[in-house]
Amino acid sequence: MKPHLDITDDNLASMEEFAESNDDPIVMVNLMQVKPNAEYEDPTLNDCTGYEAFARYTSGSAAVRQEAGAKMVWSGQAVQMPIGPSEKAWDMVALVRYPSARAYLTMKATKEYEAARVHRRAALYDSRLIMTTENPSLRR
């Protein structure tokens, strides 16, 4: 199966359309499968583990994520998948809240964020990013 590391043009257009008419907060659910060793396009950078490269991504994108109003809701290690295909294993899960889809898209378009994504692509074998909104029927 082909790994998924970047938002496709079609999905980006769909997010843009959603952002035009929706100002509610979103939570991005990140499922990540980490490489044992980072694999950069520039092989001279392949001197670290996938987790170390991911830490570079986190550090390199921290300021721009903060400017966008992003807040880490939860992050942890995936240990089991009781429902789902046994051949697919995720290593990390993170929930990141943004004030809106527009805030996420504005952040994603910055040069700083794109520069940091080099480390994310080097670190991860595969990933999923699920944009969620609060379920109105479950509001308290």
pLDDT at 140 (0 to 100): 60
Instruction: Tell me which residue range forms the domain holding 31.
Output: 23-80+89-132
| pLDDT of 3 above 90 | no
Does 123 fall in a domain? yes
| pLDDT of 32 above 70 | yes
What is the rounded distance in angstroms from the CA atom of residue 132 to the CA atom of residue 108? 17
Does 126 fall in a domain? yes
CATH number of the CATH domain containing 55 = 3.30.70.100
| pLDDT of 118 above 80 | yes
44-100, pLDDT tens digit by residue? 999 999 999 999 999 999 999 999 999 999 999 999 989 988 777 899 999 999 999
pLDDT at 74 (0 to 100): 97
Does 107 fall in a domain? yes
Strands of the 71-77 sheet, one edge to the other = 71-77, 92-98, 26-34, 124-132
Whole-prediction pTM = 0.91
Contacts with 74 (C-beta within 8 Å, 6 or more apart), sequence order: 93, 94, 95
pLDDT at 139 (0 to 100): 62
